[in-house]
Structure 1
Amino acid sequence: MVQPILVKRFVISPILSPVHTPSRDDAVLHALVDFVTSEGLRPGDRLPTERVLAEHLKVSRTTVREALTRWQELGLVERRQGSGTYLKAAVTRNMLHLPLTLPSGNDFNSLMHTLEIRRGLEAEAAVLSAERASDADIAFIEQKLVKMEDAFHARHGMSADEDWDFHLAVFRTSGNPLFEQIIAAMYEMFHRFWEHPLGVQDFGHASFPYHRTLFNAIAARDPIGARAEALKLIATVEDDLKRGAANLKKQNKKSQE
């Protein structure tokens, strides 16, 4: 027997009132921000359909679609084929939209540039998380860690999504929402590290134990230790990049002989 699919029914609050302004693009974005805030939506929650939003805002679906496209380009929402649009980062009316020009290659230099940014963000977020995380935050990070460890063992190191969720939990519990927003905008760029870059099939495996030691330092409220473990984790990724680059260099040299 096919089980019915339960779809969340949104009761649209009065905050989604018709838009009457010459600058409809910005007005729609402001109305969407107000809706997300009033409904208490968090990253991972699904937004109403374009049709529902358009009806209540009294604008065309094209206008709504363009507004959501702007959010998608900023890394604020994710569109999943056949499923809907999901919030990826917290949004507020006073947030600034900062366009980023990010390296898109899988070559050594592009990946190293990404890793250097990641090193700074993760080390500082680890420090703040150790200083600010509540008991509930610690439990939340541990939950993500256990899921990542289980996936790593069950799928022979293929734990990209769970790994991302663990790091996102650390950023979220840092107490600074800008960390989470910046990381969400860099989602695609960071995920290249789980795609066997530079031909390294076991890429990232060496970093696995440092997720646990990083958590232990945060749970112990040890900011210095948390920074050290975060840097060790990133160092293993850098070693993998250098190993991959060296192997490719050898392969190219052989092919030219």
Structure 2
Amino acid sequence: MPELFPKKPGITSSPTIDPLVHLNADGQKRDVLDALSLMIERAGLGIGDRLPPEVEIAKKLNVGRSKVREALIAWQNMGIVTRNKKAGTRLAAEVSSKSLHMPVTLKLEAESLLRTHAVRRPLEIEAVRLAARHVTAQQSKIILARSAELMAVYEAGENWRAADHRFHKAIHDACGNPLFEQLIRQIQDGFNAIYEAPFGQPHLGQATIPLHPGIADAIADGDEKQAVAIMGTIMDIVETEVRHMMGDQNV
């Protein structure tokens, strides 16, 4: 039986090594993507190369086709693959650990996070600018209350993710344009569908939390410049953390 993902010319490997890992039937979406990442690297596939049909991947991995579809859609949302009926599923980003001293799945995780962060950055900055310009007295109270809630959870040493989401949602509601909330949520959902805890660290970005009250105060005061400056600093800190972790990872 021919290999599902035949090697490209010049790629050498033992003929007994199958590029796909046989998973347990209850394998999860992350497991599927880990196996696909390994397959792609072993097979030497590059940008523009086509992946086999979902049904073939599912059969080889011993998982349901729906799990393969969900996993590939998640990759599509993060810009790793493109999908359409005529062209099939093709790689849109490099899946290789050769350029970095880190496992291929962590490299993908880091690059995906940086891509989503790059798109989210201007949206978040413009959202706080508009919020500072259009915020009402009632919305200011809500933003300040969400800020106080976030700091209370953070200072108690508890998981602050949910409180952080509520804080930012209050800002998005105050900016006067519902598209900001929709677009940012889509970006977050696309990444969080797989990577709820990037690099296994659920508190990535924790260093930015003490800066959040400053945003709340700036918006409540109608200070667009200050709100934008603090949000820019927050986004810089998160990006720096991701890049730092990429440099620290070893195979």
Cross-structure match for 1:170: 171
Q: Distance in 2 between matches of 1:197 and 1:116?
A: 16
**Kindly tell me: are residues 215 and 137 of structure 1, through their superposed partners in 2, closer, same or farther at Cα, counting changes over 3 Å?**
same
How far the C-alpha of 1:184 sits from its partner, in A, is 3.1
Question: Distance between the aligned counterparts of 1:198 and 1:226, measured in 2?
Answer: 29
Matched residue type, 2:180: F
2:118 match: 116
- Per-residue CA deviation, residues 19-61 of structure 1 (Å, 9 max, x unaligned), is xxxxxxxxxxxxxxxxxxxxxxxxxxxxxxxxxxxxxxxxxxx
Match of 2:238 in 1: 237
CA distance in 2, matches of 1:182, 1:227: 19
- Report the counterpart of residue 180 of structure 1 in structure 2: 181
- 5+ residue gaps in structure 1? 1-72, 74-99, 253-257
Distance 1:137 1:205 in 2: 25
Aligned to 1:142: 144
Residue 102 (structure 1) aligned to one of 61, 77, 82: 77
Give 1:198 deviation, angstroms: 2.2
Aligned-partner Cα distance in 2 for 1:131–1:213: 16
CA distance in 1, matches of 2:182, 2:193: 19
Q: CA contact under 8 A between 2:120 and 2:187: conserved in structure 1?
A: no
Runs of 4+ in 1 over 6 A off after TM superposition: none
Please state how far the C-alpha of 1:201 moved relative to its aligned partner.
6.0
How far apart, in 2, do the equivalents of 1:112 and 1:146 lie?
29
CA drift of 1:104 comes to: 7.5
The 1-side partners of 2:231 and 2:194 are apart by 16
| Deviation by residue 1:88-132 (Cα, 9 ceiling, x = unmatched) | xxxxxxxxxxxx952188611110011011111100000000000
Give the partner amino acid of 2:132: A
TM-score normalised by structure 2 residue count = 0.54
CA distance in 2, matches of 1:224, 1:201: 31
CA contact (8 A) 1:126 1:230 kept: yes
Aligned residue identity for 1:247: D
Which residue of the partner structure matches residue 56 of structure 2?
none
Comparing 124-133 with 198-207, greater Cα deviation is found at 198-207
Segments of structure 2 that go 5 or more residues without pairing to the other structure are 1-69, 81-107
8 Å contact from structure 2 (residues 112, 191) kept in 1: no
TM score, norm. by length of structure 1: 0.53
User: By how many angstroms is 1:189 displaced?
Assistant: 3.3
Alpha-carbon distance between aligned partners in 1 of 2:110 and 2:214, rounded to the nearest angstrom: 28
- 1:140 match: secondary structure: helix
Q: SS of 2:77's equivalent?
A: coil
Measured in 1, the distance between the counterparts of 2:234 and 2:194 equals: 13
Asked if the contact 1:157–1:202 (Cα under 8 Å) also holds between the matched residues in 2, the reply is no
- The 5-angstrom pairing of residues 1-257 of structure 1 reads 101-103=76-78, 107-154=109-156, 156=157, 158-189=159-190, 191=192, 195-200=196-201, 202-248=203-249, 251-252=250-251
Q: Which has the higher contact order (CA 8 A, sep 6+)?
A: 2
Question: Do the aligned partners of residues 192 and 210 (structure 1) sit closer, same or farther apart at CA in structure 2, a change above 3 Å counting?
Answer: farther
Contact kept in structure 2, 1:196 and 1:202, CA below 8 Å: yes
In the alignment, is the contact (CA less than 8 A) between 1:104 and 1:189 conserved in 2? no
CA spacing shift, 1:157–1:119, aligned 2, 3 Å: farther
Give the RMSD, CA atoms, in angstroms: 2.6
**Residue 186 of structure 1 aligns to a residue in which SS?**
helix
Cα separation, 2, equivalents of 1:173 and 1:162: 17
Shift of 1:195: 3.8
Counterpart residue type for residue 217 of structure 1: A
Secondary structure in 2 aligned to 1:175?
coil
